[in-house]
A = this chain, B = another copy of it.
Amino acid sequence: MTQTYSTTIELRFSDLDGYGHVNSAVYFTYLETARVKLFREPFEELTRQGVFLLVARAECDFKLPILFTDSVSVSVRMSRVGGASFDLEYRLHDGKGKTFANARTTMVCFDNNAKATVPVPGSIRALASAETPAFKQGDNGHAR
């Protein structure tokens, strides 16, 4: 059982499209932004080593359009850790009970030098544990 990490997302006016809503592809950018914040320290260290965290699968159920005046938070938890991959579950919401979308990604760890998948590094695996500070303190200072 893992903790959930929550962070706010800074909307950009250019995130909107011709419908006046945040474009549906940008929801996946919000997922990535939350994910990279969650993993910041291991992410930067792994990137330096040439180990990439690649998206193997992404899915999103869009519940409500996001308008520019909305506040957007992403809550994310690691729902599975396997040998060379792990799953993340996300909720995009307004912090006050309104859910914009639910989403899931499967991530694989890829050594860009060896051009091969590698086992999930310990620094990522550790984030699955409830005791990890990264899950306790998001940018906006609260785990849920």
Contacts and interface: CB of A to CB of B under 8 A. Distances in A.
Contacts of A20: 18, 20
Contact of A60 (B17, B58, B62): B58
Interface residues of A, number: 37
A69 B61 CA distance: 29
Nearest to A18: B16
B56 A61 contact: yes
Contacts of A36: 13
Contact of A13 (B12, B13, B32): B32
Interface stretch (A47-55, A73-81, A87-95, A130-138): A47-55
Given A10-B33, A60-B58, A112 B52 contact: no
